[in-house]
Amino acid sequence: MSIRQQSINPETTFIPEQAIPAFCILLVMDDDILANRIATIAGKNCSVVRFRNEADSDKWLTDKQQVNLIILDKTTGPTMVANVRRKADYQLVPVLVTCRFGENHLVRKTLAAGVTDMLVINEENYSIQTKIDYYLSLCNQVQTFQPVEQQPPVYEYQYSTPRWKRSIDIFVSLLILVLLSPIMLLVALLIRIDSKGPVIYKSKRAGANFHVFNMYKFRTMEVDADQLINQLSAHNLYAETTHESADIGTDLCPACSELGITCQQILIDHNKSICEKAYLSGAEKSAKFMKFRNDPRVTRLGTFLRNSSIDELPQLVNILVGDMSLVGNRPLPLYEAEKLTSNEFAQRFCGPAGLTGLWQIKKRAKGQGMMSDRERTLLDIDYTNNFSFNTDIQIIWKTFFSLWQKENV
């Protein structure tokens, strides 16, 4: 390997004697022995440009030089990486900082500053070369990547509201809003008197074709009730019988413990470490829907509004503007909708989102107990595949006899 002098401040550039180098590595370090060792390890396909200090390397980078990997020593690393990242041409270039085994304080400091990875210099040459080759390949993939224009997800079937259904929605919702406007105004006044907070509760819901919109209801809960959802999950009526689970604060989950190894796929959940296997196992067992009996978050007036279904009246506005229909599948909160993305369950979103539907008239208000989340989803899919003018009229008629719930859910 021949050595040529760099024009800026007699620093060295290491270039193979034959062939045009495919990659360029920038070294910024004062240690001559270490710089020569890395240049030798880098191989025949790389040119290595080396500077002793940050100022000279910064001037060189200002000329928009082609660089595939930057390696810094622990002295210049934490400060120089910030300057590198401010340059648009080098924001995606991997930056490695040299260190030795046991320098944990250095690892935390440099990674927090934006360094890509650490290069442990008291490893064997093979390990160092493997890491250098990996980041050179990664940089090459990033630089040659051609972004594809983002397209909305395409479903096998896109729901479109039939004209007869939309006509009924507009006529009936507008008529009921006019006729019940005095009652709705009275309810709004009573809510303000009963508890602090807004009259109307807005909830992000996923409707037909996974369309997300704000669904309106009269507020029946205390303010910030959504933040208590995790604390009440054990009382969810749709939840299966609870099973003893692993303590997420321990080092081993049951699956890894059986193998006699430490958890290799660690996730961070609310500032606690948890094995990915344990997390995914819990997600599979969790219920798809959330509903509670004698919910402590509900206000005094809220219980009456819920049992009488008066709290649902503001959704007539959603129907009028086209977010929902009178009859369909209930639009779901996003934390429920994200659990129904399998090929089987996602079919429910290929039908209209509705104020009332099949599952509301099957067991609701009949004292037959709660149906499982699977039963409810299958009813939604059944309506999606078979709804018609006749079925909508039948559901609307039966809904009048199911308006008053017999349970506080």
DSSP string for 9-53: TT-EEEE-SSS--SEEEEEE-S-HHHHHHHHHHH-TTEEEEEESS
pLDDT tens-digit series, residues 341-365:
666 678 888 889 999 988 878 755 4
Residue 241's pLDDT is 45
Mean pLDDT over 23-38 rounds to 88
Confidence (pTM): 0.48
Say whether pLDDT at 109 is over 80: no
In this prediction, residue 367 has a pLDDT band, given cuts at 50, 70 and 90, of low
pLDDT value at position 258?
53
Q: Which pLDDT band, with edges at 50, 70 and 90, does 168 fall under?
A: very high
- Cα–Cα distance for residue pair 132/276, rounded to 1 Å: 29
Q: Is residue 200 predicted with pLDDT exceeding 80?
A: yes
Distance CA 289, CA 374 (A): 10
Report angle CA 165, 328, 216 to the nearest 5 degrees: 100
Provide the phi-psi class of 52: left if phi over 0, else alpha when psi is between -120 and 50, else beta. alpha
In total, the chain counts a number of residues equal to: 409
Output the six-digit token pair for 268. Answer: 């961070």
Asked if 205 contacts 336 with a C-beta cutoff of 8 angstroms, the reply is no
Most confidently modeled range among 110-114, 243-247, 317-321, 342-346: 317-321
| Phi, psi (rounded to 5 degrees) for 314 | -60, -15
Residues of the chain with CATH 3.40.50.2300: 2-143
Rounded (10°) angle between helices 77-85 and 54-62: 10
Please say if the pLDDT value at position 291 is more than 60.
no
CATH of span 2-143:
3.40.50.2300
Query: How far, in Å, CA of 350 to CA of 309, rounded?
Result: 26
